[in-house]
Structure 1
């Protein structure tokens, strides 16, 4: 039941996130639905391919596809004045989706009795895979490839679940809230990871 709840939360959050990005890029209605669906299910598809799970498993999630379509439709029908700050809200929804799908992906790996490393990778790919595809289709640099702290939070969630430090439902929900808050804080305060630029320094 907990796994299903995280699936629903992640699907809604990422479907909305994808639709928001599509509208920011002024895509037509087809582009909005396409980007929303790809964002919601891209991470799970990548995870399944890595864990050698049949691709057909994706098409068995009929209810989640319906939930994603409804979420995208509601966002698309919102009055323009009500979505004046989509950029900020898009990142908030993205944080929710990242956290929910990272936990869901890691739980999936643990359910298959895979090692801790697999839980970490499953958490990262499920949590950030859809966002990577979304950003590439939108012509943007994927967040996970920037110095911005993003996929690290998904990896931490995967590590905690892979080590089975949290098992009870309340503990998983608490982890979801903590990871979401950490991602939002890192976005607001622009936390970054160490990086090195190879671009030549321009002396003025």
Structure 2
């Protein structure tokens, strides 16, 4: 049950996030759909490549493709009424997607009996991969490469799942809230990772 819930939440959140970014960059309707879909499914596709899951599994998610299509359509045609502050809401949706997909990626790696490091990598790739592809296609510097605390939260979620700290559906839902909340708090309070420049 938790797997389906995280798949739905992550897909919905990242589809909306991708559509918002595309509209901020003034993409046409085709570009909005492409960026929304890539954000929603790109991270999972990259993860599957690295951990040995057939990429063709992606095309079995017809229901999720339908969910993403409906949400992108709503955002495109009704954004004036649904989202009055795109940047803020886009960050919130991105945080929720990050948490949901990070946990889902960790769950998949555990099901495949992979070691802890692989669980963490799967969490980061699933949680942040779609956002990285989205930002690159939008001509933006990916959040994961900035000094903002972003992919670290996905790695921590993967670590906690891999160590068995959070087990059971309700515990994983709590971890989703904590991970998304931590990402939002890092935005609100401008928490940063250490940064070193070569040139002064």
Q: Shared topology, TM-score over 0.5?
A: yes
Sort the TM-score into its range (normalised by shorter chain). Answer: over 0.9
Any conservation in 1 of the 2:75–2:82 contact (CA below 8 Å)?
Answer: no
Runs of 4+ aligned structure 1 residues displaced above 6 Å come to none
- Alignment partners' CA distance in 2, 1:83 and 1:172: 29
Question: Normalising by structure 1, what TM-score?
Answer: 0.96
Q: 2:56 corresponds to which residue?
A: 56
Does the residue aligned with 1:78 lie in a helix, a strand or coil?
A: helix
Deviation at 1:92, TM superposition (A): 0.3
User: Where do residues 110-121 of structure 1 align in structure 2 (5 Å cutoff)?
Assistant: 110-121=110-121
- List runs of 5+ in structure 1 lacking aligned partners: none
- Alignment partners' CA distance in 1, 2:172 and 2:84: 33
Deviation at 1:190, TM superposition (A): 1.1
Q: 1:130 corresponds to which residue?
A: 130
Q: 1:154 corresponds to which residue?
A: 154
- Alignment partners' CA distance in 2, 1:179 and 1:43: 17
Task: Indicate how the Cα distance of structure 1 residues 79 and 165 shifts in structure 2: closer, same or farther if over 3 A, else same.
Answer: closer
Deviation at 1:81, TM superposition (A): 5.7
Q: 1:78 corresponds to which residue?
A: 78
User: Where do residues 168-187 of structure 1 align in structure 2 (5 Å cutoff)?
Assistant: 168-187=168-187
Deviation at 1:131, TM superposition (A): 0.1
Q: Give CA-to-partner distance per residue, 1:120-172, whole Å, 9 cap, x none.
A: 00000000000000000000000000010000000000000111111111110
**Aligned length, in residue pairs:** 200
Q: 2:96 corresponds to which residue?
A: 96
Deviation at 1:78, TM superposition (A): 1.2
- Alignment partners' CA distance in 1, 2:135 and 2:194: 22
- Alignment partners' CA distance in 2, 1:169 and 1:16: 25
- List runs of 5+ in structure 2 lacking aligned partners: none
* RMSD over equivalenced CA pairs, Å: 1.0
Does the residue aligned with 2:153 lie in a helix, a strand or coil?
A: helix
Does the residue aligned with 1:4 lie in a helix, a strand or coil?
A: helix
Question: Normalising by structure 2, what TM-score?
Answer: 0.98
Q: Which has the larger radius of gyration?
A: 1
